[in-house]
Structure 1
């Protein structure tokens, strides 16, 4: 691991401690299931951390798609705790992608 992984691990712990906003439960944005989006993103981040800062090509593809879907969801959820939750998840996902070889 390089010196930046502890920052991602800290962001990950903060994310796991954050309540999932009630308005996002069951929410769909187009064909995006927000609960599934959260789970897919979390799974990729968790795997990245467990594998010492590496993602296989399939998970890299999934996480890249998650960022795109988060952008779509952020266009709908424009304020409140829902937006904050999604923004923090996007920051975490993009940090992992930026450090994935």
Structure 2
């Protein structure tokens, strides 16, 4: 685990935990999935990473979240919701770069 990445994710997560879910993201969906559910999925993945246990299933979920966030960001205007989504996307990208897929043993 890269200490610099871990530290940045820790700071971003602490900031994120102090926020309320932005009004401009409520009721918003991407590919039929509510953004609020994406936020919950991200919370589980980030918490697992910070706890030192990002398993393969959570890594897949995190990759899915990252792809959805990349679709969402261009649709958001400047403001609270965009900053919120950008923070989530940054955490996803950092964690994915720091936790490469594990090779299966054959």
Match of 1:35 in 2: 36
Match of 1:10 in 2: 11
* CA distance, structure 2, for counterparts of residue 20 and residue 55 of structure 1: 24
Q: Which runs of 4+ in 1 moved over 3 A?
A: none
User: What whole-Å deviation, never above 9, does each CA across 1:16-43 have from its counterpart, x for those lacking one?
Assistant: 1122111212221331210001110111
Match of 1:60 in 2: 59
After TM superposition, the score normalised by the length of structure 2 is: 0.84
The answer to whether the Cα contact below 8 Å between 1:27 and 1:33 also exists between their aligned partners in 2 is yes
Match of 2:79 in 1: 80
Cα root mean square deviation, aligned: 1.4
* CA distance, structure 2, for counterparts of residue 79 and residue 72 of structure 1: 15
Partner-residue secondary structure (3-state), 1:26: coil
Deviates more, 1:9-18 or 1:60-69: 9-18
Unaligned ranges ≥5, structure 1 = none
Unaligned ranges ≥5, structure 2 = 101-106
- Within-5 A mapping of 1:82-97: 82-97=81-96
